[in-house]
Structure 1
Amino acid sequence: MTWQTNAGRRDVIEAMKKLTNFPVLLLAALLLPVAACNLTPSITDSDTSVEDGDWPNYGRTGSEQHYSPLNEVTAENIGQLSLAWHFDLEPGFTVSAPVAADGKLFTTTGNSYIRGFDAVTGKLLWEFDAKTRELAKGPLQMNYGNKGIAYWKGRVFLVTTDGRVIALDANNGKPVWEQREYSLDEMRNTNGPPRIFGGKLIIGHGGADISPIRGYVTAYDAMTGKRLWRFYTVPGDPSKPADTKAEQVSRPTWKGDWFGKGGGGTAWNSFSYDPKLNLMYIGVGNGFPYNPKLRSPGGGDNLFLASIVAVNADTGAYVWHYQVCPQEGWDCTATMDMTLADITIDGKLRQVLMQAPKNGFFYVIDRKTGELLSAEKFAKATWADRIDMKTGRPVENPGIRYQDRPGMFELWPGPQGAHSWLPQAYSPRTGLVYIPVIEMGALIGPAPAGMTGIGSGMGAMLVADAPLKGSRRSFLKAWDPIKQKAAWQIELPGVWPGGVLATAGDLIFQGRIDGQLVAYDAKTGKQVWSYKTASPIVAPPISYRVKGKQYITVLTGSGSQGGGILASGNAAFRTDYALPRQVLTFAIGGKDPLPRYTMTDRVPVDDPDFRPDAAKAQAGGMAFAMNACIVCHGMNAIGGGAAPDLRYSPMIMDQNAMKAIVKDGALKLNGMPAFPQVTDQQLEDIRYYLRAMAKQAAAGPAGAQAGAPSAATSKGM
């Protein structure tokens, strides 16, 4: 691990002089609970360029706090919070965050279908269809919905899953400029939200789960679309000179005959920005193959995999890095949101970056230098005992490296992570970080010979939702970053906890898999309000103000990769693909009567000729997993909301219909890509497996949750 910086020192006194509300906030600090007494809440955000009433970026500002400074809605009046307006959406991905500015609300659903609304009335102003389903090439670029969009100076920005970067006129939805981030033939896709930092549009991408691509992050001029810089997260051709600092730092950590065979490091989700330090922070993902011995035969930490990297915001030049999982081998990514805040630790004001990545440790890092300040477990983690504060490296538990031992063994957290990409929030008023936590283990081992399918090159075998003791649980944890322990926690239904919003009204909003939007007291965790919908709520809510009134908006509906990978743990709840998906906007005194939705019963397909065959079911389950069917259609074929639940589809009874859909792409425009690489035998095995799962679903809840034995590839969710 290396800590390096060329950032200048921040003059704290001068910064505090500029804060006009310092006396008020200082008084508020005296009233905070003991858990927050070491904080300096007068400095709430490193990026103060955003108007209080707007929410233009995924995390609102470059600090990615998912915090609104609005305080009209409080625990005292939240009983008056009710629906102001709603809008019905089409089936598909809705696990995305809207943005709001200048009296308008903007949403993205499905494959980059963008809408602009009047933020007060919900009137639809315009629609833009990026036509990703028509233009995308292959399943990697089609079957993931984008997680968010951005707004800046009268423009809405999106990135399609097939790699087009588009700026729209916020008044009418017409394209202003368009760029292509990568070729359609490359094994890349983009589903994370773009960010606008200092007039620059920041873009990452995915794809490292199935190919040894070289990850990178790109910055565009938001006004013109001109590419400004590109930062590569793994080194390039070792036969060429190392002409950048990033190359000089990363190249020695890749050893042996690795180039062209190993790679990855895609930054598909998380970015933060400190305009005063002029630093941008990149959260980097896993490597490919997963097995480090195949990826980098000579060993090495493989930088910048599973790392937080700080770069110069103007040039993209490397400044410092911190690696959370050296020699990453478990889909251990640092692509979870990175929260920036200024807090006092041991009597010293520190400018920190806080992250709860997949690996189960909560990190507090000096964002100027990359120095590790503290790290403790926020969830069950068996891969490491602790983080050595002298070296900053994890102290791994013996035998945790599957590439060095035979058979499968238990690993916590599993590839879904202790915290996935659904965002945490931070309140400068309480000093607490509110984390949607997943408690879920997995089985992992070396890949057996003869594996085929999209995920067959990983070099590892993963059963991502193994029914382990204490597994398949989720929590909302209010984490004290100074004491490094939970101030309070609430166990949630299911295993796919929604994204979090914190407000200056001392409230925490979070959706749940059981269809509840819930508000909690930020200091105590006491539930103070809830609203029941017909669908799960997983997307993070936002809050904004128009004409002096505070609004809270969230999109309903399950889905995304997490909805599939975690489907077994959510089997007790209806997460149907066809359940109503809506934009819901709340305000004090709202008067929109949402029509009542009547849930209909699902009936598994009638299959009287089915005859059990354990070997065929096993083969079909393996093919279903290794060809990534689980990502959309769910673990053990239990639908998670991202796509139809195939246990209830008559298509599985028709061999020709299955072939037309799966191999030939007959339903491409519906969002189902073609999988021509699937052999006829694999397809028939998959069809048998789905019939077996339908039979179990017909047997009742116990059978529906048990599932036939199946392996699971891991996906950065």
Structure 2
Amino acid sequence: MLLLPLSACHRISPGADSDTSVKADDWPSFGRTGSEQHFSPLKDITLKTVDRLKLAWHYDLEPGFTVSAPVTGEGKLFTTTGNSFIRAFDAASGKLLWEYDAKTRKIAQSPLHMYYGNKGIAYWNGRVFLVTTDGRVIALDAKTGRPLWQQREYGLNELRNTNGPPRIFGGKLIIGHGGADVSPIRGYVSAYDAMSGKRLWRFYTVPGDPSKPIDTKAEQVSRPTWKGDWFGKGGGGTAWNSFSYDPKLNLIYVGVGNGFPYNPKLRSPGGGDNLFLASIVAVNADTGAYVWHYQVCPQEGWDCTATMDMTLADVTINGKTRQVLMQAPKNGFFYVLDRKTGELLSAEKYAKVTWADRIDLKTGRPVENPGIRYQDHPGMFELWPGPQGAHSWLPQAYSPRTGLVYIPVIEMGALIGPPQPGMVGPAAGIGATMVPDAPLPGSRKSFLKAWDPVKQKVAWQIETPGVWPGGVLATAGDLVFQGRIDSRLVAYDAKTGKQVWSYKTNAPVVAPPISYRVNGKQYITVLTGSGSQGGGILATGNAAYRTDYALPRQVLTFALDGKDATPAFTMPDRIIAPDPQFRPDAARAQTGGMAFATTGCIACHGMNAIGGGAAPDLRYSGVIHDEAAMHAIVKNGALKLNGMPAFPQLSDSAIEDIRYYLRAVALQTAAAGGKPGAAPAGAAAAAAAAKGM
């Protein structure tokens, strides 16, 4: 719904959280409350006391995905690691109380179910809630870890996966899923009764069979925006991450993702905006019925999504209270909407943007730059932000005390163009040629930006290491906490950006910290370890930092005058084994590099085979020197229980090509000194290295 904007002279003053149902001491869900502010009202840890912040307790975790946010309730801290391995701790002492293994790696049938361990869980009313990547919705008894109920959200044979955190809004469990990067599935969001497990409603984010009668308002709005022979060939719209909730308006806000194929001409041959792709949609919390929408990328074609945080706040505009929703989605514009009506109030660039010049405030639509519609133009377009987005799923935070939104911003460009002949694997399906990490001037940077949502400009900013800036926590102590890829947890002055505290960790810190209070004492907790998307297309930009899969990952909890300490840690050396049997073949290295990229290996093992922490760095692995071991792992799933899915569809020759490419990359890295980031080990570079050996 689009209405005329407010004038630029309107001012917003700091406002309170619109969801006051959560006690100040608790952090029961991903963003703490339905407003998703990632803000703690606790203020024992302040600018004056933060120098006393010390480690209170820690717990050593197993290798694997730890880029997830913990939650608290009943004086307990609950964590998830790997593929839905849940632990409960005494939140004050760190004593382990119980463990629950969802056994996802035994059950999963699709590689999608193995990628990207779940990013969070939820606590409510004596229960812990999780959704496994293979689609099981589970409620556990918070006291014992015993399962209370379980439902299956989708079949094991469907090309869907769930890794975003569930939310509990008004006694309802809200979940979405992913999969729209590999299949034209029909995205949807489901609501379950949190006590009984009964499914209450389902909202579809793209229309259904056009031959059937229209039976919902959502279908009435969305169906006319899909044209031509599209049904069964185009789809997407998966809501894989962000949801918000306003209990007073009784609205749930859904952040909707990209379409499949990316190429709109293949997805919807007759044109159209393709609602509700790349949109924010408000639905009735009781029924799931459509209320309003705002689309950030009409006729999405670049992996543009609105699946980033939607921060709610009640603010004052010219003496009148307005209820706003604020989002910094992938596309590089920061949006302020009236969350009651969907009215666009303002939108400005918070990062480098080349796909659009501006957002027209009268129509709410972007003014696109020439050439961005690659399906209509030859050659490659320099796309900023690239498919990783200017802001990914790692959350922003909002402080009602400062009125600022703290955004972890990625500055990376890409090249995009029409599809090329001979493309295979997932890359062929999107209908476009994409170089997601192009070596462009000014690319591969990241920032923590304090954004003034009224002036629509930066209040202050800090350049952060690498290109995978951690999730953010803001507190009433006027502090902003953020982890970094260089293995530090840092606190800043929320008003000025001055660094006031830091702690050296043994592994990168990219998960969002949380804050809670037990027995009158405030704590800060974060899980360490890289992984998730940072192990894929962002790995090149993080190559200067050690993000090893096997680095000691931990639960770290801090408090004023804490007395704990972790054992001394020395970063282990990485050795590339000699490969005397290797024979140079540039063409084969090129073929293997393309197979490594297009079959999805980069998702976990990193762009250009540079490990990003989600899985072992194969340049340093002995497996690439053992043909039988490589085939047993890749084709037959010998390490499935370790999180490595099987790829039975790959031919023996394709696996050998990939193995050859990895050997070439390893030798190239060794020739460059074996240091992190020493060699840009892309397919072309590996081919050149092979040719020159």
TM-score normalised to the size of structure 1? 0.93
2:533 is the alignment partner of 1:533: no
Query: SS of 1:669's equivalent?
Result: helix
2:339 is the alignment partner of 1:367: yes
Cα offset for 1:564?
A: 1.9
- Rounded to whole Å, the distance in 2 between the matches of 1:171 and 1:37 is 49
Query: SS of 2:563's equivalent?
Result: coil
Query: SS of 1:218's equivalent?
Result: strand
Contact 2:13/2:317 (<8 A) preserved = no
- Rounded to whole Å, the distance in 1 between the matches of 2:346 and 2:653 is 52
Cα offset for 1:37?
A: 11
Q: What are the within-5 Å matches in structure 2 for residues 515-534 of structure 1? A: 515-534=487-506
Deviations along 1:576-622, whole A, 9 cap, x unmatched?
A: 00000000000001000111111111011211232333222221111
Residue of structure 2 in register with 1:609 after alignment = 581
Percent identical among aligned pairs is 81
2:404 is the alignment partner of 1:435: no
2:38 is the alignment partner of 1:55: no
1:520 is aligned with what amino acid?
Y
Residue of structure 2 in register with 1:137 after alignment = 109
Cα offset for 1:710?
A: 6.3
Cα offset for 1:703?
A: 7.0
Query: SS of 2:288's equivalent?
Result: coil
Point out the more displaced range, 337-346 or 46-55.
337-346
- Rounded to whole Å, the distance in 1 between the matches of 2:306 and 2:684 is 28
Residue of structure 2 in register with 1:72 after alignment = 44
Deviations along 1:240-291, whole A, 9 cap, x unmatched?
A: 0110000000000000000000000000000000000000000000000010
1:249 is aligned with what amino acid?
V
Aligned residue among 532, 535, 560 for 1:588: 560
Residue of structure 2 in register with 1:555 after alignment = 527
Q: What are the within-5 Å matches in structure 2 for residues 108-147 of structure 1? A: 108-147=80-119
- Rounded to whole Å, the distance in 2 between the matches of 1:507 and 1:181 is 39
Residue of structure 2 in register with 1:14 after alignment = none
Cα offset for 1:3?
A: 4.0
Contact 1:636/1:710 (<8 A) preserved = no
Contact 1:271/1:281 (<8 A) preserved = yes
- Rounded to whole Å, the distance in 2 between the matches of 1:411 and 1:352 is 30
Q: What are the within-5 Å matches in structure 2 for residues 275-424 of structure 1? A: 275-424=247-396
Query: SS of 1:454's equivalent?
Result: helix
Aligned residue among 231, 234, 238 for 1:262: 234
Deviations along 1:184-218, whole A, 9 cap, x unmatched?
A: 01000000000000000001000000000000000
Number of aligned residue pairs: 678
Contact 1:219/1:230 (<8 A) preserved = yes
- Rounded to whole Å, the distance in 1 between the matches of 2:381 and 2:523 is 48
Residue of structure 1 in register with 2:197 after alignment = 225
Contact 1:501/1:510 (<8 A) preserved = yes
Distance 1:114 1:710, change over 3 A: farther
Residue of structure 2 in register with 1:105 after alignment = 77
Residue of structure 1 in register with 2:178 after alignment = 206
Deviations along 1:326-360, whole A, 9 cap, x unmatched?
A: 00000000000100011223443211000000000
Query: SS of 2:229's equivalent?
Result: coil
- Rounded to whole Å, the distance in 2 between the matches of 1:200 and 1:316 is 11
2:443 is the alignment partner of 1:471: yes
Cα offset for 1:450?
A: 2.2
1:686 is aligned with what amino acid?
I
- Rounded to whole Å, the distance in 2 between the matches of 1:705 and 1:57 is 41
Aligned residue among 596, 619, 624 for 2:596: 624
Point out the more displaced range, 337-346 or 349-358.
337-346
- Rounded to whole Å, the distance in 1 between the matches of 2:320 and 2:683 is 54
- Rounded to whole Å, the distance in 1 between the matches of 2:380 and 2:27 is 46
Residue of structure 2 in register with 1:709 after alignment = 683
Residue of structure 2 in register with 1:667 after alignment = 639
- Rounded to whole Å, the distance in 2 between the matches of 1:446 and 1:358 is 21
- Rounded to whole Å, the distance in 2 between the matches of 1:437 and 1:386 is 19
Contact 2:10/2:318 (<8 A) preserved = no
Distance 1:188 1:702, change over 3 A: closer
2:572 is the alignment partner of 1:600: yes
- Note the residue ranges of structure 2 that are not aligned, 5 or more in a row: 4-8, 686-693
Question: What's the Cα RMSD here?
Answer: 1.4
Contact 1:693/1:704 (<8 A) preserved = no
Cα offset for 1:677?
A: 1.6
Query: SS of 2:597's equivalent?
Result: helix
2:316 is aligned with what amino acid?
T
Contact 2:605/2:617 (<8 A) preserved = yes
Cα offset for 1:665?
A: 0.6
Deviations along 1:653-677, whole A, 9 cap, x unmatched?
A: 1222111111111110110000112
- Rounded to whole Å, the distance in 1 between the matches of 2:456 and 2:326 is 11
Query: SS of 2:632's equivalent?
Result: helix
- Rounded to whole Å, the distance in 2 between the matches of 1:521 and 1:703 is 32
Distance 1:407 1:682, change over 3 A: farther
- Rounded to whole Å, the distance in 1 between the matches of 2:374 and 2:246 is 39
Query: SS of 1:690's equivalent?
Result: helix
Point out the more displaced range, 603-612 or 461-470.
603-612
2:129 is aligned with what amino acid?
F
Contact 1:44/1:341 (<8 A) preserved = yes
Contact 1:519/1:530 (<8 A) preserved = yes
- Rounded to whole Å, the distance in 1 between the matches of 2:583 and 2:317 is 65
Deviations along 1:76-101, whole A, 9 cap, x unmatched?
A: 11111000000000000000000011
Contact 1:108/1:146 (<8 A) preserved = yes
Residue of structure 2 in register with 1:12 after alignment = none
2:71 is the alignment partner of 1:90: no
Deviations along 1:160-206, whole A, 9 cap, x unmatched?
A: 00000000000010000000000001000000000000000001000
Residue of structure 1 in register with 2:656 after alignment = 684
Cα offset for 1:454?
A: 3.1
- Rounded to whole Å, the distance in 2 between the matches of 1:612 and 1:460 is 31
2:682 is aligned with what amino acid?
A
- Rounded to whole Å, the distance in 1 between the matches of 2:559 and 2:684 is 46
